[in-house]
Amino acid sequence: MFGVPISHVLIVSTALFFIGAYGFLTRTHLIMVLMSMELMLNSTCLNFIIFNKYLFPGTQDGLLFTLFIITIAAAEAAIAIAIILNLYRNFQSVSPEETTTLKY
């Protein structure tokens, strides 16, 4: 088959996910935060593909889910960028630390 044990591949996708999480938590610009989210989504796709490959070889369900996730990611990116532009207009800033009016 592939020659690599499944756990190694999973470690790659997990690491990618938490790199994304780290970026989400630390970035000071909303577009950067969006990029981190893309990383996280990407690692999820990878995870689906991995399990499809190792545990359900010959089927396509994981693949189809990946397809859906990619579609959702595209939609989400479009809306997120629209929101970011709007935020920039209203706050003259896109830092997640400063756009905090949606609170108590």
Partner 1 sequence: MNAAYIALIPALPLVGFIFIGLFGKYFPAKISGRLGTLFLAVSTCLAGWEAYQYFFVSGAVGGTYQTTYPIRFSWLEFSPKLIVEIGTIIDPISVMMLLVVTLISLMVHIYSAAYMRGEKRYSTYYAFLGLFTFSMLFLVLSINIIQLYMGWELVGVSSFLLIGFYYDKPSAVAAAKKAFIITRFADMFFLIGILIVSYIGKSLDIPTLISNLSHASSFTITSPLATGFMGFSLLSWGLLMIFIGGAGKSAMFPLHVWLPDAMEGPTPVSALIHAATMVVAGVYLVARFYPIYVFSAPDVLKIIAITGAFTAIFAAIIACVQYDIKRVLAYSTISQIGYMIFALGLAGWGVNKYGFTAAMFHLFTHAIFKALLFLSAGSVIHFIHSNDMRDMGSLRKKMPLTHIVFLIACLAISGIPPFAGFYSKEMILGVAYQTNKIIFIIGIITAGLTAFYMFRLYFSIFWRDKKVQIIRGNAHGSASMTIPLMLLAFGAIGAGFIPFQKLVTFNGQPIAMESNNIVTVLAIVIAVVSIFISAFIYLNDNTIPTKAVKRLGGVYRLIYSKFYIDEIYLFITKKIIFNLVARPVAWIDKYIVDSSINLIGAVTTEISISIKTLQSGRIQGYMSWFLGALLVLVLIFMMS
Partner 2 sequence: MHQIIFYTISAMLLISGILTVTTLKFFRAAVYLLATLVLTAGIYFMMAFNFIAIVQIVIYVGGIVVLILFSILLTSTPGAKVDKPKWKNLLSGLLVSLAGLFITSYVFTGYVFKTIKTGPENMQVKSIGMQLLNIKSSGYLLPFELITLLLLVAMISSITIAVGEHKKPELIKTAPLSDTIDKILEEINSENNLDKPASEEIDDKTALKK
Q: Closer to partner 2 by CB, 49 or 99: give it.
A: 49
Determine the residue type at 60: Q
In whole angstroms, give the CA distance from residue 104 to residue 87: 19
Q: Applying CB under 8 A, what is the total number of residues that bind partner 2?
A: 74
Position among 9, 13, 33, 45 found at the interface with partner 1 (CB under 8 A): 33
| Distance in Å, CB of 104 to partner 2, minimum | 20
Q: Is residue 99 a contact residue for partner 2 (CB under 8 A)?
A: no
Q: Is residue 19 a contact residue for partner 1 (CB under 8 A)?
A: no
- Burial grade of 33 (CB within 10 A; 0-12, 13-18, 19 or more): buried
Among residues 13, 30, 2, which one has the least CA distance to residue 69?
A: 13
Q: Taking CB within 5 to 8 Å according to partner kind, which of partner 1, partner 2, none is near residue 104?
A: partner 1
